[in-house]
Structure 1
Amino acid sequence: MYQIGRSLSWVVKAASFVGAICVVLMMLHVTADVAGRYLFNAPLPGTTVWVANYYMIIVVFLAIGVAEEQRSHISVDVFTDLLPDRPRNVLSVFATLVTIAVVTVLMISGYTEAVKKTAMTATKEQGSQLFEVWQSYWLIPAGAALMIAVAAYRVIATVTGARSGLNEAPPEANFIND
């Protein structure tokens, strides 16, 4: 069981690394576009399409698995902090199951849309050029599936009491609640 958590953690780290690379690439791409536009009157074609349809999708949707692993999603713990451990764990499992249900809907609808866009070889036009964007639609169900896998594994580990093997945020990261 612990090894599954370690494997999931490795996949999440890889997704995080890909997201970090995309942030750097996006920064360089936009900088080159601005420099080309204002210094040489020759902007890079497709910058807007690449930023909106690739870089941002990768950064956002691959990062939701990272946020789930580290329990970094927004939560309001006003009342649950007053509860004993057992009821708090039950509510945590219930909330995670609701999260899994909602993200599953996102994953299924994202998959359906990705299939449609792939079948029609979706493109976006910028200026006088067409850029294929159908590939980016597959990133949404992939990111959602990663989040579901981490959340479902956490529920199983919590219910069974097994060590999870996930890299959660360190306790000193809870300084906001203090």
Structure 2
Amino acid sequence: MRLLLRVQDGLLTVLALIGALAIVTLMLHVVADVVLRNTVNSPIPATYEIVTHYYMIAAAFIPLAWVERGGGMVQVEVIDSFLGPRGLYWSDRTVDVISTVIYGALAWVTWLTALRNFDTGTFVLAQTLRVPTWPAYFLVPLGFGLATLTTAIRIFVPKQELRK
């Protein structure tokens, strides 16, 4: 189990770096576009398409597992004050199982969508420039897949273990 937790932490670190890189690149790209547009009247082509199809998807879906690792996504606290330690344990496990199933289903469906878009070579047109968008579709199942792994581990490993 320790090996699985180390693998998960390694993957979360890689995804955190990818997410941070996406945000920094987004900022640099947009700033460069604004500066070039206002100084030499020559904006960077397809900035809007790249921002919406790459950077925003990375910013939205890559951090899912990171947030789940910290326990910041799904929490059921409506009846927690009425439950004892054993009831809390089972309530947490039930939420973890439901979250795992939902994340797993989302990962599977978005994986199939990514494969379909890869096969067809999905792109958008920015004036006359073709911007391939199919690679960004793989970020979504990646985020959901690692969130699935994170919640699945939480089913079997007590929260005290995860915080060590």
Same fold (TM over 0.5): yes
2:136 is matched with which residue?
136
SS at match of 1:137: helix
1:75 is matched with which residue?
75
Q: Is the 8 A contact 1:9 1:167 kept in 2?
A: no
Give 1:53-132 correspondences, 5 Å limit: 53-132=53-132
2:10 is matched with which residue?
10
SS at match of 2:61: helix
Q: In the superposition, relative to structure 1, how do residues 167 and 129 fare at CA in structure 2: closer, same or farther (>3 Å)? A: farther
SS at match of 1:42: coil
Give, in whole Å, the separation in 2 of the partners of 1:167 and 1:34: 43
Between 1:146-155 and 1:52-61, the stretch displaced more is 52-61
Give, in whole Å, the separation in 2 of the partners of 1:99 and 1:81: 22
Q: In the superposition, relative to structure 1, how do residues 125 and 167 fare at CA in structure 2: closer, same or farther (>3 Å)? A: farther
Deviations 1:42-91 (A, max 9, x none): 11011111111111111211100101111111535232144212111101
Letter in 1 for 2:6: R
Structure 1 gap segments, 5+ residues each: 169-178
TM-score (norm 2): 0.92
Between 1:1-10 and 1:110-119, the stretch displaced more is 1-10
Q: Is the 8 A contact 1:69 1:167 kept in 2?
A: no
Give 1:137-152 correspondences, 5 Å limit: 137-152=137-152
Deviations 1:5-53 (A, max 9, x none): 1221121011111101111110010111111112211110111111111
1:174 is matched with which residue?
none
How many positions carry a matched residue from both structures?
164
Q: Post-superposition, which runs of at least 4 consecutive aligned residues in structure 1 deviate over 3 A? A: none
Between 1:80-89 and 1:28-37, the stretch displaced more is 80-89
Q: How far is 1:111 from its partner?
A: 1.0
TM-score (norm 1): 0.85
1:176 is matched with which residue?
none
Q: Is the 8 A contact 2:75 2:95 kept in 1?
A: no
Structure 2 gap segments, 5+ residues each: none
Give, in whole Å, the separation in 2 of the partners of 1:104 and 1:151: 10
The percentage of aligned residue pairs carrying the same residue is: 24
Instruction: Say what the alpha-carbon RMSD is for the aligned residues.
Output: 1.8
Higher relative contact order (CA 8 A, sep 6+): 1
2:29 is matched with which residue?
29
Q: Is the 8 A contact 1:114 1:138 kept in 2?
A: yes
